[in-house]
Amino acid sequence: MVCILLFVILYKVKADSFVVKDSITYVYGGVEFKDDTVEIYAQKGVMDKNKIILQEEVKVVTKEVELRTELGEYFWNRKIILPKEFVITKGEEIIKGRKGKYFMDTLWIHDDLEYTHQKEQWHLKGGEGRYVVKEKMVLILDGIVFTDIDDSIKITGKKGSIFSDTLARIEDSVRLFVKEVECSGDTLIYFFKKEIAYLQGRPQIISKQDTLRGEEVFIKFSKSDIQKIKVVGKVEGKRWKGFR
């Protein structure tokens, strides 16, 4: 038997069965929740005056994203609490985290953030951060590791912001690794489509035979390899004989 509940605050719950005890409603089997902004599917649910807790094969669908997890809490003020691992997809973007919350088109990730852009073919990991849906922006607050799809380019830093198909800005103790070349500095801005990186703040380049320093470094990439490096302002260099 399929049961449907309609409430004054304009949402609908559908399930195979439900039990009402005191002021709490328990729903089981093929649970579907819908209001004017979201659709949620799960196998179990518990409802009270503030929220619905959904369990097992939870899927949340909004106009912007699709979210999957095994446990979620949806509050009537449109906030979603994610106490377990979750995956959110938006077109070519995939965001993962251990726990977080989603509210007002912003996803807060509290631990083990992972972000992959399938079309641009790059991936990043971090600790804590947030994803702003409409701006397609990821903000990393607690350590960041940025790589292209085959790990040919690796960028690390303490914090950063990524605009999904435009640029990455990595800050604080930045290091860039490309094959046998290592670069370091305070700030790195990487333009995806142009394959150009700008390194500022005491930038340094180290290879097997050379060390270069300056005020700014411009790096041009081609197919995940360095095509050209230009150092500007108070340039200092050193060449090492033999192998380092």
Residue extents of the structural domains in the chain = 1-66
Higher pLDDT, 224 or 56: 56
The label of the residue with tokens 């997809």 reads 89
pLDDT digit string (tens) for 75-123? 988 899 999 999 999 988 999 999 999 987 899 999 899 998 888 778 8
Examine the pLDDT at 206 and tell me if it is beyond 90: no
Residue 20 structure tokens: 């009402």
Provide the sign of the torsion angle of the four alpha carbons 173, 187, 137, 116, taken in this order. negative
CA angle 75, 134, 58 (to 5 degrees): 40
3-state secondary structure 82-129: ECCCEEEEECCEEEEECEEEEECCEEEEEECEEEEECCCCEEEEECCE
| Percent share of the chain, pLDDT over 90 | 48
